[in-house]
């Protein structure tokens, strides 16, 4: 089909695809005051009102007819893509809940049975540290499964920003990973593709494992075609002489992840030709973690060293063994006062409620450095800080949990006008309009202040602003709501 050249063509294709209905389009045109709307104006209006996403609009304008729905799930946009599948953020049209939908690529339809078994295996695992799979669909040329959408980022992305983690923060993430591995091990399942990109860290700091069974279920046909999902696993198994479903291989790579978080670099060399680097010597010549970072607590170094022993017999034999040592090491470190600042060590206790509990503040900001700056500012003053990079996702969280946060800070700096639109929408929705909110406008966006829907507990401020002033504004809107 030819590309879209007019507003009427766009409207027609949106209705044919099922992403918009005639009544909504009529309402939009009515509010614009004319039926003779040009293509660009209609596109921008549909995006501004969140009636279409950029992903949907691009497919419509290219004349594509598929990729808008998978079963009852309307695709909003792509959040990740790998060799075999793409992952989309989608909304269930029946209950309006947000999910992640993983879809097999068309060129791998020959692997549909393996993909289906992967989904079914994942669906059988029910644990807080494993991303749950709710539905598996495998019909004709359509193969997908539906998972929880986790607000956060994968550990690889997290590590690129943090470089080196605080010991107890890293231990908390690893503890969740090992708890998930231990549960799966008890069900007779190993992961076989444990790496940072397969560990999600939620906005609340909870580690959740992805893609159980993806490597183990790879068919012989795919292997013959040269597909290598788990180069490191295969090389380690070959070098140590263990079978491919040995849980001690998962333990080795869990240790490598802990090493990377605390040492700031991977113990396994990374490069374009990973296969050539996966020799026996690669696993035998890993530098001791304390030679990479001498400041790591010795008890954590011992956990790492035992997990990445080359000889499988000298490693932890089960995830439960590793989890026990990790918890003991973390408890001892915490008892020495190194886990988190005591109340007296906070810059202030303004973020604590009358019971001494942290108030929940959500920061909506797309730039990672700015996220960390705001997180640090408010955390040091007693708040519990949640972070979201997409303003619409942030609002969606309140549909599932109206108490997700007690105050929300929308920052326009790297989000732009959608931050203003989300701030206004937040003040209009019945479930969120009573929640205090702040619109932090970048200096170049100051002119938008007049378009902000403000009120007693809703304010807009323009950069530059001092940190103390920003904290005072947060206190101000919280106190006004209380009144």
Report yes or no: 118 and 217 within 8 Å, Cβ to Cβ. yes
Is residue 141 part of the annotated active site? The answer reads no
- Residue position matching structure tokens 């607000």: 151
Number of Cβ atoms within 10 Å of the Cβ of 273: 8
Return the SS3 of 390.
coil
Nearby residues of 94 by Cβ (< 8 Å), 6 or more positions away: 72
Q: What single-letter DSSP state applies at residue 351?
A: T
Catalytic residue (choose from 38, 72, 113, 193)? 193
Instruction: Give the per-residue SS3 of the chain.
Output: CCCCCCHHHHHHHHHHHCCCCHHHHHHHHHHHCCCCCCHHHHHHHHHHCCCCCHHHHHHHHCCCCCCCEECCEEEEEEEEECCCEEEEEEEECCCCCEEEEEEECHHHHHHHHHHHHHHHHHHCCCCCCECCEEEEEEECCEEEEEEECCCEEEHHHHHHHHCCCCHHHHHHHHHHHHHHHHHHHHCCCCCCCCCHHHEEEECCCCEEECCCCCCCCCCHHHHHCCCCCCHHHHHHHHHHCCCCCCHHHHHHHHHHHHHHHHHCCCCCCCCCCHHHHCCHHHHHCCCCHHHHCCCCCHHHHHHHHHHCCCCHHHCCCCHHHHHHHHHHHHHHHHHHHHCCCCHHHCCCCCCECCCCCECEEEEECCCHHHHHHHHHHHHCCCCEEEEECCHHHHHHHHHHCCCCCCEEEEECCCCCHHHHHHHHHHHHCCCCCCCCEEEEECHHHHHHHHHCCCECCEEEEECCCCHHHHHHHHHHHHHHHHC
Q: 138 CB contacts (<8 Å, ≥6 apart)?
A: 112, 113, 115, 116, 119
- Radius of gyration of the chain, Cα coordinates, nearest whole angstrom: 25
437 CB contacts (<8 Å, ≥6 apart)? 407, 408, 409, 410, 423, 426, 427, 457, 458, 477
Tell me the catalytic residues. 193
């Amino acid at each position: 089909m030819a590309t879209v050249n007019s507003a009427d063509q766009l409207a027609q294709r949106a209705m044919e695809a099922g992403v918009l209905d005639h009544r909504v389009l009529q309402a939009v045109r009515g509010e614009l005051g004319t039926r003779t709307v040009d293509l660009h104006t209609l596109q921008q209006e549909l995006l501004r009102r969140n009636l279409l996403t950029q992903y949907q609009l691009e497919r419509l304008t290219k004349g594509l007819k598929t990729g808008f729905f998978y079963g009852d799930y309307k695709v909003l946009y792509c959040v990740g893509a790998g060799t075999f599948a793409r992952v989309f953020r989608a909304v269930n049209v029946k209950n309006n809940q947000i999910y992640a939908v993983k879809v097999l690529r068309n060129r791998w339809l020959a692997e549909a049975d393996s993909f289906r078994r992967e989904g079914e295996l994942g669906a059988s695992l029910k644990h807080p540290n494993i991303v749950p799979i709710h539905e598996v669909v495998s019909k004709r040329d359509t193969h997908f499964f539906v998972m929880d959408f986790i607000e956060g980022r994968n550990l690889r992305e997290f590590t690129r920003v943090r470089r080196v983690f605080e010991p107890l923060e890293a231990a908390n993430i690893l503890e969740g990973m090992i708890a998930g591995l231990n549960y799966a091990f008890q069900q007779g399942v190993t992961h076989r593709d444990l790496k940072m990109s397969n560990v999600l860290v939620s906005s609340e700091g909870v580690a959740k494992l992805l893609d159980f069974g993806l490597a183990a279920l790879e068919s012989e046909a795919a292997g013959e075609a040269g597909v290598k999902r788990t180069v490191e696993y295969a090389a380690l198994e070959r070098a140590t002489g263990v079978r491919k479903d040995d849980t001690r291989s998962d333990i080795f790579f869990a240790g490598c992840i802990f090493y990377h978080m605390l040492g700031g670099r991977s113990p396994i060399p990374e490069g374009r030709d990973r296969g050539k680097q996966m020799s026996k010597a690669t696993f035998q010549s890993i530098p001791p973690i304390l030679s990479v970072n001498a400041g790591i607590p010795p008890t954590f170094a011992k956990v790492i060293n035992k997990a990445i022993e080359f000889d499988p017999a000298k490693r932890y034999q089960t995830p439960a063994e590793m989890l026990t040592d990790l918890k003991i090491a973390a408890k001892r470190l915490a008892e020495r006062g190194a886990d988190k600042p005591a109340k007296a060590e906070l810059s202030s206790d303004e973020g604590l409620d009358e019971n001494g509990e942290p108030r929940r503040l959500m920061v909506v900001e797309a730039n990672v450095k700015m996220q960390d700056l705001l997180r640090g500012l408010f955390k040091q003053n007693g708040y519990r800080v949640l972070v979201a990079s997409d303003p619409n996702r942030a609002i969606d969280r309140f549909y599932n949990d109206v108490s997700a946060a007690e105050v929300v800070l929308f920052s326009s700096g790297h989000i732009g006008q959608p931050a203003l639109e989300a701030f206004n929408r937040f003040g209009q929705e019945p479930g969120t309009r009573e929640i205090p909110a702040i619109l932090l406008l970048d200096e170049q966006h100051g002119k938008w202040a007049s378009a902000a829907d403000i009120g007693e507990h809703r304010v807009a401020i323009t950069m530059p602003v001092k940190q103390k002033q920003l904290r005072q504004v947060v206190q101000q809107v919280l106190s006004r709501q209380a009144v």
